[in-house]
């Protein structure tokens, strides 16, 4: 088995209404998302993916379609945060309504679940790392 990783960057906003810090205010991040997948090396002779787990471009395409295009320049808001939810839905065309407060941990879990179903047969998402800032991140491994 071999593991490969692909990174994308997104700009998004969120708020954590129950937070005791400044995170309870509307604010944004330059997020980084890193997906690590695992699989056997492709051995089909003459195949463009021979010697790869999967082509990095295909992994990037999945990340762009299922994470970037859903949240980049958008806003993640918790469905229980009625005051902010009403305002954000009226103001923004790209909104991710979350079942849990949109912490880095919950966004990592959300992103993991967006990617896994779109991977090719034999390739498994092992970890999703969600950087909220360069110094703060959450890892989710599907468990």
Q: What is the pLDDT along the chain (143 residues), one digit of tens a residue?
A: 999 999 999 999 999 888 788 777 888 999 999 999 999 997 888 777 778 889 999 999 999 999 999 999 999 999 999 989 999 999 999 999 999 999 999 999 999 999 999 999 999 999 999 999 999 999 999 98
* pLDDT, position 21: 81
* pLDDT, position 65: 98
Cβ distance 114 to 56 under 8 Å? Answer: no
**pTM (two decimals):** 0.92
Q: Where in the chain are the domains?
A: 2-140
Q: Which of 100, 102, 84, 81 is nearest to 92 (CA)?
A: 84
* pLDDT, position 97: 96
- As a whole number of Å, the end-to-end CA separation of the chain is 20
* pLDDT, position 123: 96
Residue for token digits 């958008």? 74
Please give the CATH superfamily to which domain 2-140 belongs: 6-pyruvoyl tetrahydropterin synthase/QueD (3.30.479.10)
* pLDDT, position 50: 76
Burial of 52 per CB tally in 10 Å (0-12, 13-18, 19+): middle
Residue for token digits 């790869």? 52
């Amino acid at each position: 088995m071999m593991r490969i990783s692909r990174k994308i960057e997104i700009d998004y906003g969120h708020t954590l209404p129950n937070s005791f810090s400044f995170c309870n205010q509307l604010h944004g991040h330059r997020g980084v998302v890193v997906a690590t997948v695992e699989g056997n090396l492709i051995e089909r002779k003459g195949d463009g993916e021979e010697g790869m787990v999967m082509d990095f471009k295909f992994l990037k395409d999945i990340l762009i379609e299922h994470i970037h295009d859903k949240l980049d320049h958008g806003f993640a808001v918790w469905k229980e945060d009625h005051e902010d939810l009403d305002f954000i839905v009226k103001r923004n065309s790209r909104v991710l309504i979350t079942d849990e407060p949109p912490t880095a941990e919950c966004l990592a879990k959300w992103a993991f679940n967006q990617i896994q179903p779109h991977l090719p047969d034999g390739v498994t998402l092992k970890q999703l790392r969600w950087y909220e800032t360069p110094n703060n991140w959450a890892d989710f491994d599907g468990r």
